[in-house]
A = this chain, B = another copy of it.
Amino acid sequence: MLVKSQVKYIQNLGHKKFRDADGVFVAEGPKIVNELLESDILQLVQCFATESWLTAQERAVKGKEKLFFQIDEKELERISFNGSPNQVLAIFTKPVFDQNIKTKGLILLLDSIQDPGNLGTIIRTADWFGLKRVICSPETADVFNQKVVQSAMGSIIRVEVIYADLTEYIRLNPGIPVFASSLDGEDLHEKIRVTDALLLMGNESKGISPVLQSLAAKRIRIPGKGGAESLNVAVATGILLSYLEPVS
């Protein structure tokens, strides 16, 4: 049984200020929740699940019964942020990353990505290519927004997302080449082998801000001969990451 205060608390976690205040976030669905439960860089705060999920996950529940609440489908609908709730909703503390992780190699910089789905997909893509950190401008969507968490598909426990002034970040890393994605950049036909490098991607409609563009060593464009005005930013990020090959 859900009590009213629990429903209210979970709904509040849809807002960044409440997530920040408690240092927590929400994840939903067995695929993501099961993966996060196994991680040792975050902790489970509370988990609300149907009987079938709880039965299947007996091992995960054991010894932590106080954190798990059995609810029915109707109750899950009341607390879910998804159109189609799926068995389980869990609240976790935000991940704490190992600060000794190698931060060199290829790093992704995001200038004001607004759409949570795009941000999540970009984090998942960065994870696929083995990136360890993504630096976001303060205007970028919050990585712990529930839509970001869902579309990142568990990658938020492997990719550390940091919010920082990108101009400052680039200035603090002199000598590291900045590749900026730009519709009027140079066509990228072949792979580029890089040691340390920054890949800069811009806002969905406005692109990269002029100040940041001016800091780029090279502006690159994905060659296309069709009619579309642009590519979706997550798709463009994936293509560019597949062409920038880190030499280790």
Contacts and interface: CB of A to CB of B under 8 A. Distances in A.
Contact of A128 (B125, B130, B228, B237): B228
Q: How large is the interface on A (under 10, 10 to 19, 20 to 34, 35 or more residues)?
A: 20 to 34
Which of A225, A235, A238 is most buried by chain B, counting CB atoms within 10 A of its CB?
A: A235
A127 B228 contact: yes
Contacts of A222: 128, 242
B129 A232 contact: no
A228 B153 CA distance: 8
A143 to B, nearest CB: 15
Given A117-B117, A226-B158, A235 B125 contact: yes
Total identical chains = 2
A122 B163 CA distance: 30
Interface string A188-232: 000000000000000000000000000000000010111111111
Contact of A130 (B151, B158, B226, B243): B226
Contacts of A236: 238
Interface string A116-159: 01000100111111110000000000000000000101110010
Interface of A: 117, 121, 124-131, 151, 153-155, 158, 222, 224-232, 234-239, 242-243
